[in-house]
Structure 1
């Protein structure tokens, strides 16, 4: 048995006590065997030592040996400790997946901070996604990465599709009385029919422009909405273009009817 100073002996006793505490109730690991292995490792480290081992020397060995928690088999850890274990010891791609999911959950639990945490979760998820060329290789990680991607993508898609309305709807309400007074439009005139035709025409023009852009640059939606837009092709860009044209036709018809 090696010669330990009093402080080093207390340090070792504390470490072994922690090992026994963590392994209490563990069915697959024998605490006595772990203790023997730890002592044998320490003895092999200081087999040539002649003086008493100091606290600093022993602590350095124990630091290299690792935390007393490491002796617990991962399958016997509770779920929340498995998450922490993966974050500390798992591969980088798994760490990003867990961080992304953790930020997302925190965003819903701590409601005032969701404006910051959910975008942060999305950024980390995209970083995890960039670690692999084929999203099919993510396998189980998708359950951790995809939720924040889906949430942000859906919000972004709704914003993208309806962007013209964000400015036109408030403007239509604000200018209703001014337009009626300027053009002497009575209350019986279907003002909002004309306004809705403007809405439809604006959306149609907006989607028409993007249909043309996507026809020329198919990779734009694939990059923006990866990996859920990998199926996007010229056919769907053409469909978006046609929908834009269809929305513009009624708008032009109502406009001509008002003029005539």
Structure 2
């Protein structure tokens, strides 16, 4: 496990442009606002989806006209040639997509991405991500990278503890995560429902937000061998 990172990370349990039919998202609006720039540079990292072209195109359409977009391609396909991860240092936001957390971590490590991400964050670049793009920053997580939901204790360790995205939105997520935290299989951590997100600075939780009503976020703790939820206050965002 690595030391907590210096810088800002926004972790989405679900939502953002990935779960919006028209690409609009109050969480993504907030993400751009956090940069303090009129037209920020935003790089999408679709490693977890195998550099999905549809996913990348959806990202570009959602941010068109309000950000300078780019895509980090580690697979190299017919649209996006292989990109040097060093490009991440020149971004205002690095936005990590969903998919396989395990594959993302393995490929990133082979290409030296974690070291670049840590340096970029320290220089002021905002790190963000949904689903696998939430999981990756923590010490551990709940993942379906191997088919059925399973615990994964192999995260980057930029944020402490464990993570569970899609907490109420996918069958089995809540029950299994509570069981794994209660048994010590996973460390205590954060569970975020779809359309909710958390803002972290220097490894500390600053705020939880939501772009839909009734989308909770929980701190999940271990008490006497049982996983117990403690709800975190969530600020409701207003769509622009």
TM, length-normalised to structure 1? 0.22
- Write 1 or 2 for the structure with the bigger share of strand: 2
Q: Which has the higher contact order (CA 8 A, sep 6+)?
A: 2
Highest Rg: 1 or 2?
A: 1
Scaled by the length of structure 2, the TM-score of the pair is: 0.24
- Give the helix-richer structure, 1 or 2: 1
